[in-house]
Amino acid sequence: MPATASESAPLTSAPLGTVLLLGSLMAFGPLTIDTYLPAFPAIGRAFGADAAAVQRTLSVYFFGLAIGQVVYGPLADRFGRRAPLLGGMTLYVIAALGCATAPSLGALSAWRFVQALGGSSGMVITRAVVRDRFAPREMARVFSQLMLVMGVAPILAPLLGSTLLRLFGWRGIFFTLAAFGVACVIAQYTSLDESLPPERRAKAGPRAIVRTYWGLLRDPRFLAPVIGAGLLWSTMFVYIGGAPFIYMELHHVSPSTFGVLFGLNAAGMIGAAQVNARQLRIHTPGQLLRFGATLVSAGGLTLLVALVTGLGGLPLVAASLFVMLSGLGFVGGNASSAALAPFPHAAGSASALMGTVQFAIGATAGAVAAALFDGTGRATGVVISAVALAGTAVVVRTRVGDR
């Protein structure tokens, strides 16, 4: 990997090897989530549980991601990036094996929580590594490039999950995730250089960590992009939880067709992220962020109309979700750059807190949608449109990314 980039001498582009490795680590989240979505009905039948009960295993995973990130951030600032990342990924592998052998839905939920705690290390530390190595404007481009790599996961994961489900049952999905985790641990150990030298590491104890977090939460430069993007990204959380029911139960598509539709939506988000990377040459991150928020809101409102009235059937549902998720391709990189750029000396903590707040918002939105589940898709539409409009209001009013 290249030497750490300074603000005065930013890199002009991210090396391909860096993008591939960091993108793979960031892909743990969507891969672990999306691979088992086609198995929701099978898991429900195996444990005699309804759709809402199975969906709660997803909410538990989101809460685990939120909690795990707030822990790994200070660890990464104190001990460097490599050691906490290797430890977290090892925990992920152990938990994946626990999921594969779970004797009950409760046990599956517990192991999913532990799996999220381990997998969250890749998400938070990857963002910190990017902050270590790249200047602010380049950061937004690198995050968009990472979206291309990690975006392959939601395209292939449902297709992989449906294939594994057909060949080996739902438990085979988690054995495969464990194998992927082992491969990533090996790649990290052999290829990931330390990006935070000892002289730049935090020396403070727990009280100072709490003060750092409290300071970030009081700083509008951090809070506005985190809250705004968190609300917008929570549309994805609700979509992930509701998509299996909307597609496979409400519209009677097969698991393989579900994988194709899910993959097309992910492709829209990836394509939008690449357009975003190019448009950063002529537009500010804030302008592109507001454009993406508008798309997310438009897609969410159209989805609500389709689910409440039944107009347009599956085509309108699929089209509205495609627009919504494409809009998110303009959100993640720009909001992350805006939130992390002012805090070069607390990148791990800022990255962790950003992930924690956003996943807590998303998990809460997903839990609300599950609690309101009434055997139709209306709750999904209502919650998605509500958080989309709220997130758009935040980024427009505060002009995130323009400072």
The Cα 49–Cα 126 span in angstroms is: 36
| Domain spanning 16-195+202-398: CATH superfamily | MFS general substrate transporter like domains (1.20.1250.20)
Domain ranges of the chain: 16-195+202-398
Q: What's the predicted TM-score (pTM) here?
A: 0.70
Sort 315 into a burial class: Cβ within 10 Å, 0-12 / 13-18 / 19+.
exposed
At 158-207, the pLDDT tens digits run: 778 888 998 999 999 999 999 988 988 888 788 777 777 777 776 766 77
* pLDDT for 12: 43
At 68-79, the pLDDT tens digits run: 878 887 888 778
* pLDDT for 177: 92
The Cα 135–Cα 158 span in angstroms is: 35
